[in-house]
Chains A and B, each alone.
Chain A
Amino acid sequence: MKLLKKITVMVMLALFASAAPGQELKVSETILPNGLKVLLKEEHKSPVVTFQIWYRVGARNERLGKTGMSHVLEHMMFKGSKNYGPKQFSQIVQRNGGNDNAFTSKDYTAYFENFAADRLEIAMELESDRMQNLLLDPKDFLSERDVVKEERRMRYEDDPTNTMVEQMMATAFAAHPYQWPVIGWMADLGNLTRDDLYQHYRTYYAPNNATIVIVGDFDAKKVLPLVQKHFGNIPRGPEVPKVGAVEPKQRGEKRVVVKQEAELPAIFAGYKVPTIMHPDAYALNVLQGILSSGKSSRLYKSLIYDKQIALYAGGDYDDVSADPHLFYVYAGVMPGKSTEEVEKAIYGEIERLKTEPVTDEELQKAKNQAEAGFIMSQDSVFYQAMLLGQYETVANWKLFGQYLDGIRAVKKEDVQRVAKTYFTEDNRTVGLLVPVKKQSGGDAGQ
């Protein structure tokens, strides 16, 4: 459903939550002497190309009081650099028939330009300038900070479900930066200064902390020298500070209730799980498919179709993550049904995964969906580059190539075992949205 998509996109902080699997990736990897990693993949099915540059910096590299810094910096990256002043960046891209944009997550900040194949070098020219020479004009900074506050109002302040999910995250993580939202807390946005951003920029925007991914209709032999020409002379930056935070083992369920004007209650429960770097990730992905992929999946069939107690329901696994994150299950409560009933029904499905093996058909279906997803993902050069960038930034792109084999090897017992290991009450954080009656005007926050 629409809302689910929104929750996934906004809160899980990953553009495409369930990564399509990979096989023979046909990717060439080069590391320039300044540390910049370059991944090239030729894809000649249509005359387009995507250029993406991924920096290993996100909300994970921030601190309380200054949250939201990475994302505000991302906005400032469109406000001018030395050779391409204010307002020029996107205009140049568009004048050349291109689309450009960027996104920030808890682990990365990525910029992209999609072009007709013959315009590829324009992206390099622009990105290399703003990697080194960002203007960060103080006046523009203040105005752009206001833009981000408007963004926050739209996405969180005025969206009760997202507000609840934001609180749920803040509750789930006690010692790790994953507790705060990528967009930052409203008061922190007000605290940010131009100098904070400058420091952040100087610390993290350097070739040794970035990966370039190019996928599309080009000749790698000709394109690599162009990358070297535009980025090869940029000096290596200082060693990037490590994020040492480790979330301690959770010892008991945590619950958070958000009371806000809303129409229907919602529930969002997260279990702490390992990332793609852990062998259990494959079984957890298969489990995710069985629980939530398609209308034949367990949560849809049980909560929405059979019992008719949920308006939407699903499960998502945030696996492409630098540090361990969450496996979420969620549902929106149908009018006239109780949150308790829905919550119980979700846990009923979780318990079933622990007590009974999944069926042969379900297991095969999840594997077929993964295989088909991989093949179909080749339709979009942007999406292919996106997956490579995500994997490389949080782990290693080669891991993506092992994904399908890993999925194929999953057995029923593995699914049951990971369900028992991770889906325990003690390892769970639950967020509940409790709608309250309409208030007349008055205090609605900032």
Chain B
Amino acid sequence: MLNEKKIIKSFFLLVSAITLVCMPITATTAESIGKRIVLKNGMVLLLSEKHAIPMVTVSMAIKAGSVAEPGDKPGLASLTASLLTQGTTKRTANQISREIDFIGGSLSVSGGDDYASASLRVLKKDLRTGFDLLSDVLMHPAFDQQEIDRKVKETLAAIRQQKEEPAVIAGEAFTKAVFGNHPYGKTNDDVAAYLPKLVRQDVLDFYSRRYGRNDVIIAVVGDVREQEIVSLLNEKFKGGKNAERADIVREKPPVLGSVVVKKLDKNITQANIAMGHLGISRENPDYYAVLIMNYILGGGGFSSRLMDNIRDNRGLAYDVHSSFSAQKDPGSFRVWMQTKNESANESIDEIFKELKRIRTELVSEKELADAKAYLTGSFPLRMDTYAKIAGMLTAIEIYNLGLDYPQKYPGLINAVTREDILGVAKKYIDPDRMAIVVLGNQEKIKLKY
């Protein structure tokens, strides 16, 4: 059983995968993280040769996330992604799973906000088989009606099942309150309302508009040589066509004029609390100051103020943390915790105190130094597996960070001052205009907000 701080730490790490993969770095390595190569068909290859283990990890990002789906078809992007491995013009769904399972590898495609992602992991000896499967599912999906029906049914059932997970319900309500009709605001309920109406042509249209060789990033990490992988990719991804690239007009998230409270009643023992509002984009120049500010506030596990106050001193929660999820568009700033129903008011009071403190007082020299030391010093741990390196390469390409990002990173972090932290806290945290979602037994919670 994963206990103690595990879950908290992993929350911290998962807070926004994209944000984190491009996080901290020490000056430990002058060695380049990888190489960028534009393939014949326009695909961008990011390659990191690693020969210690005879395996290869591949991670792809395709501009086919939910921001690219029509506003009245929520869930279409994810469904399309999940259907790719369910049969091609050459292979049935069963053949695909038999082939990848037989070589002890893994292959998956899934949706996301900005990007859909595909991943492949195989032993070096199975590289050709792996890429044969990966290119086949990406280039020749069959979208068989039976497979569509099956996935729709499965997705609806999974959505229903998640209704018994308090964290999911509270998270969805928070998402809606913050993003409204912006694509990041699509919820399970939106998807569940649309899916029964989905027709095969929707999937075909989305696929043909959004899956093109011009909008694909492919990161390859592992036991391959440049010449070998370039020629394999040129062979396997030959032909195909470009994606349309037409941007869907995105609705703006709502402007919160005051504190907006949403109470959800459920007969459970804990209040699940989500508080926050719109945050920043990954491309915001204040990103690094925000990263450090959030580390001190509630992103830094046991070194954070929220954890110290609410868990360590008061014993009110197992998990309490804050996060900025920074993607292409501004994501959310969110404080998250669970506490027994009766402690909800006290906990929210304390969260507000911490939000106000970081907006009005300079952080201490020590807090700043500790945050910088962690963010820069933990960099080797952010690149210690092939999959993590692949994720970082992808983020470098998506956010145009440059292949020298690992070398630049300590400078970016170390340049941030206490005044910068105060400045971004004032600018990007607003306790007077935030959404507060509280799910739990309202009779016991007696929310005063």
Q: Chain A interface (Cβ within 8 Å of chain B)? A: 1, 3, 9-11, 13, 15, 44-48, 71, 74-75, 78, 87, 89-91, 94-105, 114-117, 119, 142-151, 153-154, 157-161, 182-183, 261-264, 293-297, 301, 304-305, 308, 311, 332, 334-335, 361, 364-365, 368-373, 375-376, 378-381, 438-442, 444-446
Query: Which chain B residues border A114 with CB–CB below 8 Å?
Result: 381
Interface size, chain B (Cβ < 8 Å): 83
A sample of 15 more A-B contacts (CB under 8 A), given A161-B164, A264-B157, is A89-B302, A95-B303, A99-B381, A103-B2, A116-B377, A116-B380, A151-B3, A153-B338, A263-B164, A296-B98, A305-B150, A364-B102, A376-B53, A379-B57, A442-B441
Question: In the complex, how many angstroms separate the beta carbon of A95 from the nearest chain B beta carbon?
Answer: 5
Write the chain B residue with the least CB distance to A310: B157
Q: How far is the CA of A445 from the CA of B303 in the complex (A)?
A: 33
Query: Which chain B residues border A91 with CB–CB below 8 Å?
Result: 302-303, 370
Q: How far is the CA of A296 from the CA of B163 in the complex (A)?
A: 29
**B160, B378, B380: the one within 8 Å of A47 (CB):** B380
Write the chain B residue with the least CB distance to A297: B101
Q: How far is the CA of A410 from the CA of B257 in the complex (A)?
A: 67
Query: Which chain A residues border B9 with CB–CB below 8 Å?
Result: 99, 101
**A104, A117, A370: the one within 8 Å of B3 (CB):** A104
Question: In the complex, how many angstroms separate the beta carbon of A197 from the nearest chain B beta carbon?
Answer: 14
**B5, B103, B386: the one within 8 Å of A368 (CB):** B103
Tell whether B105 is near chain A: CB-to-CB under 8 Å. yes
Q: How far is the CA of A381 from the CA of B377 in the complex (A)?
A: 18
Contact (A263, B163) CB under 8 Å given A74-B3, A157-B269, A371-B104: yes
The reply to whether B374 and A97 form a contact with Cβ atoms under 8 Å apart is: yes
25 contacts between A and B (CB under 8 A): A13-B1, A15-B2, A45-B50, A74-B4, A87-B308, A91-B303, A95-B377, A97-B374, A116-B377, A116-B378, A142-B315, A147-B311, A147-B318, A151-B3, A153-B269, A160-B164, A301-B97, A334-B153, A335-B157, A335-B160, A372-B55, A376-B53, A379-B53, A379-B57, A379-B387
Q: How far is the CA of A10 from the CA of B340 in the complex (A)?
A: 20
Interface centre among A1, A379, A380 (most CB of B within 10 A): A379
Query: Which chain A residues border B341 with CB–CB below 8 Å?
Result: 444
Q: How far is the CA of A296 from the CA of B99 in the complex (A)?
A: 9
The reply to whether B166 and A45 form a contact with Cβ atoms under 8 Å apart is: no
The reply to whether B164 and A262 form a contact with Cβ atoms under 8 Å apart is: yes
Question: In the complex, how many angstroms separate the beta carbon of A134 from the nearest chain B beta carbon?
Answer: 14
Write the chain A residue with the least CB distance to B4: A102
**B5, B97, B269, B385: the one within 8 Å of A379 (CB):** B385
**A143, A261, A334: the one within 8 Å of B315 (CB):** A143
The reply to whether A98 and B123 form a contact with Cβ atoms under 8 Å apart is: no
Query: Which chain A residues border B164 with CB–CB below 8 Å?
Result: 159-161, 261-264
Query: Which chain B residues border A105 with CB–CB below 8 Å?
Result: 1
Question: In the complex, how many angstroms separate the beta carbon of B60 from the nearest chain A beta carbon?
Answer: 19
Tell whether B312 is near chain A: CB-to-CB under 8 Å. yes
Contact (A46, B380) CB under 8 Å given A96-B373, A378-B53: yes
The reply to whether B6 and A101 form a contact with Cβ atoms under 8 Å apart is: yes
Write the chain B residue with the least CB distance to A446: B269
The reply to whether B383 and A375 form a contact with Cβ atoms under 8 Å apart is: no
Q: How far is the CA of A379 from the CA of B57 in the complex (A)?
A: 10
Write the chain B residue with the least CB distance to A368: B104
Contact (A9, B2) CB under 8 Å given A158-B268, A263-B160, A365-B102: yes
Query: Which chain B residues border A308 with CB–CB below 8 Å?
Result: 150, 153-154
Interface centre among A78, A94, A116, A446 (most CB of B within 10 A): A94
The reply to whether A182 and B50 form a contact with Cβ atoms under 8 Å apart is: no
